[in-house]
């Protein structure tokens, strides 16, 4: 199996349906309406997807649930061939940005990450929610900065804006990103998914990120594509997610190959895989079918992911070795 890196995965969004059903049963919550007869998540359109997502994640409560969730997510990804994974984690859902509660959540998850590291290395990207506004993002940034300095395992490694891209402008969150940068965290921002190339440029320019979550609509502006390629900005591309949410009609129509051909550093992730009925392996298979990508193409892409990962240099070297690259 090709060794894979995954840079863009929402922890709650990666929760397998069986795990959520188990938690719901423990808590006496009836969630039967969000599953189809085969047991998969089911929804009709984007607003319904958000409703189902919210219902599923409402039963994940407290450090112990999050530790169990991280374990199942890491084991699932390792079975897909992932050797390194970064996951978005938000203090908004882990303790409601209360710093003491957040610290307990991080400690429980970092312990699981350390235990499973021989199988799959992982890091956390701390995530403010864009549509909750800049003020709440500041609290999240302070949580991130504090745990980054306290967490000796180095599991808290990044900071990245998620949530509704249509809310506000990236620059509204500059204070939070400055705070995270000063704490030594790697920076990324969702952009170029629900808005066009100007949103990608604004995130890159106004937040100083080295990676863009999605970023695929940069393809609509040739000058931006050139600039991203030249600067070596890495895109965390999630083709199955984009197709499931209707951005593109099929993987064959997805711009990832055009971006790669133009020299942009694209990587492949799954975003919220069970909600989009995808897995890492399915993404790779779909790309191989649509574009004829070979093992060499995937290795080059994973090398870009390793170079863009928010981990320490010793971990990066270990990951590159697993990819079969000595440097
Ligand atoms: Zn995402």
Q: Is residue 268 in some structural domain? A: yes
Residue 118 has pLDDT above 80, yes or no: yes
pTM: 0.96
The predicted structure's pLDDT at residue 107: 95
Would you say how long the chain is, in residues? 327
Q: Is residue 174 in some structural domain? A: yes
Q: Is residue 58 in some structural domain? A: no
Per-residue tokens: 87: 């996951």
Q: Is residue 175 in some structural domain? A: yes
Which CATH number is 180's domain given?
3.20.20.140
Distance from residue 326's CA to the centre of ligand 1 (Å): 31
Task: Identify the domain containing residue 13 by its residue range.
Answer: 4-17+65-322
Instruction: Give the separation between CA 114 and CA 119, rounded to whole angstroms.
Output: 10
The predicted structure's pLDDT at residue 42: 95
The predicted structure's pLDDT at residue 207: 98
The predicted structure's pLDDT at residue 326: 58
The predicted structure's pLDDT at residue 193: 96
Arithmetic mean of pLDDT, 189-193? 97
Instruction: Give the separation between CA 297 and CA 256, rounded to whole angstroms.
Output: 12
Residue 151 has pLDDT above 90, yes or no: no
Distance from residue 213's CA to the centre of ligand 1 (Å): 6
Instruction: Give the separation between CA 145 and CA 126, rounded to whole angstroms.
Output: 9
Distances 87 to 8, 157, 177, 242, 321 between C-alpha atoms, Å = 6, 10, 18, 18, 22
Residue 143 has pLDDT above 70, yes or no: yes
pLDDT confidence tier of residue 96, bands split at 50, 70 and 90: confident
For 209-247, b/e burial (b = at least 16 CB within 10 A) is bbbbbbbbbbbebeebbebbbeeebbbbbbbbbbbbbeb
Q: Is residue 54 in some structural domain? A: no
Q: Which of 17-31, 35-49, 240-254 has the lowest mean pLDDT?
A: 35-49
Q: Is residue 60 in some structural domain? A: no
Distance from residue 163's CA to the centre of ligand 1 (Å): 8
Distance from residue 98's CA to the centre of ligand 1 (Å): 24
For 205, residues 6+ apart whose C-beta sits below 8 A from its C-beta are none
Q: Is residue 46 in some structural domain? A: no
Q: Residues 221-272: pLDDT tens digits?
A: 999 999 999 999 999 999 999 999 999 999 999 999 999 999 999 999 999 9
Residue 119 has pLDDT above 60, yes or no: yes
Distance from residue 216's CA to the centre of ligand 1 (Å): 12
Q: With DSSP H G I counted as helix, E B as strand and the rest as coil, what are the percentages for the chain, rounded to 5? A: 55, 15, 30
Instruction: Give the separation between CA 104 and CA 98, rounded to whole angstroms.
Output: 10
Q: Residues 54-89: pLDDT tens digits?
A: 999 999 999 999 999 999 999 999 999 999 999 999
Start-to-end CA span in the chain (Å)? 21
Please tell me which residue in 80, 165, 193, 283 is annotated as part of the active site.
193
For 250-262, b/e burial (b = at least 16 CB within 10 A) is ebeebbbbebbeb
Q: How many independent structural domains does the chain possess?
A: 1
Q: State the residue for tokens 């000796």.
A: 152
Distance from residue 267's CA to the centre of ligand 1 (Å): 13
Distance from residue 2's CA to the centre of ligand 1 (Å): 23
Distance from residue 236's CA to the centre of ligand 1 (Å): 9
Arithmetic mean of pLDDT, 6-26? 97
More confident residue, 327 or 301: 301
Q: Is residue 189 in some structural domain? A: yes
Residue 25 has pLDDT above 60, yes or no: yes
- Crossing angle (nearest 10°) for helices 295-308 and 313-322: 170
Average pLDDT, the chain: 95
Sheet of strand 121-126: strand arrangement: 4-6, 82-89, 121-126, 156-161, 186-191, 211-214, 234-237, 265-268
193 is catalytic: yes
Distance from residue 190's CA to the centre of ligand 1 (Å): 7
Distance from residue 193's CA to the centre of ligand 1 (Å): 9
The predicted structure's pLDDT at residue 152: 78
Percentage, residues of the chain above pLDDT 70: 99
The predicted structure's pLDDT at residue 16: 97
Instruction: Give the separation between CA 316 and CA 266, rounded to whole angstroms.
Output: 18
Instruction: Give the separation between CA 311 and CA 5, rounded to whole angstroms.
Output: 12
The predicted structure's pLDDT at residue 327: 53
Q: Which of 2-11, 82-91, 93-102, 281-290 has the lowest mean pLDDT?
A: 93-102
Closest CA to 159 of 175, 181, 174: 181
Q: Which of 41-55, 164-178, 220-234 has the lowest mean pLDDT?
A: 41-55
């Amino acid at each position: 199996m090709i060794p894979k890196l995954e840079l863009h995965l929402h922890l709650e969004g990666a929760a397998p349906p069986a795990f959520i059903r188990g938690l719901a049963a423990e808590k006496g919550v009836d969630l039967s309406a969000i599953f189809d007869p085969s047991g998969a998540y089911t929804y009709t359109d984007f607003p319904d997807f958000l409703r189902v997502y919210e219902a599923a994640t409402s039963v994940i409560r407290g450090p112990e649930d999050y530790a169990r969730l991280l374990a199942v997510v890491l084991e699932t990804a390792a079975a897909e061939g992932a050797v390194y994974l970064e996951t978005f984690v938000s203090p908004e859902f882990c303790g409601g940005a209360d710093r003491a509660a957040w610290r307990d959540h991080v400690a429980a998850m970092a312990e699981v990450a350390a235990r499973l590291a021989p199988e799959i290395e992982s890091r956390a990207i701390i995530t403010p929610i864009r549509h909750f506004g800049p003020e709440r993002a500041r609290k999240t940034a302070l949580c991130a900065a504090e745990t980054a300095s306290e967490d000796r395992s180095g599991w808290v490694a990044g900071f990245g804006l998620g949530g509704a891209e249509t809310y506000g402008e990236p620059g509204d969150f500059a204070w939070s990103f400055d705070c995270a940068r000063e704490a030594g965290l790697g920076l990324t921002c969702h952009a170029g998914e629900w808005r066009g190339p100007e949103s990608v440029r604004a995130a890159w320019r106004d937040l100083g990120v080295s990676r863009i979550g999605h970023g695929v609509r940069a393809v609509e502006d040739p000058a931006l594509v050139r600039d991203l390629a030249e600067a070596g900005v890495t895109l965390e591309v999630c083709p199955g997610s984009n197709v499931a949410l209707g951005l593109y009609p099929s993987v064959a129509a997805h711009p990832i190959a055009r971006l790669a051909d133009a020299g942009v550093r694209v990587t492949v992730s799954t975003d919220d895989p069970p909600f989009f009925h995808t897995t890492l392996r399915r993404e790779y298979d779909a790309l191989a079918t649509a574009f004829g990508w070979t093992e060499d193409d995937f290795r080059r892409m994973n090398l870009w992911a390793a170079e863009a990962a928010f981990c320490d240099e010793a971990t990066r070297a270990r990951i590159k070795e697993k990819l079969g690259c000595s440097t």
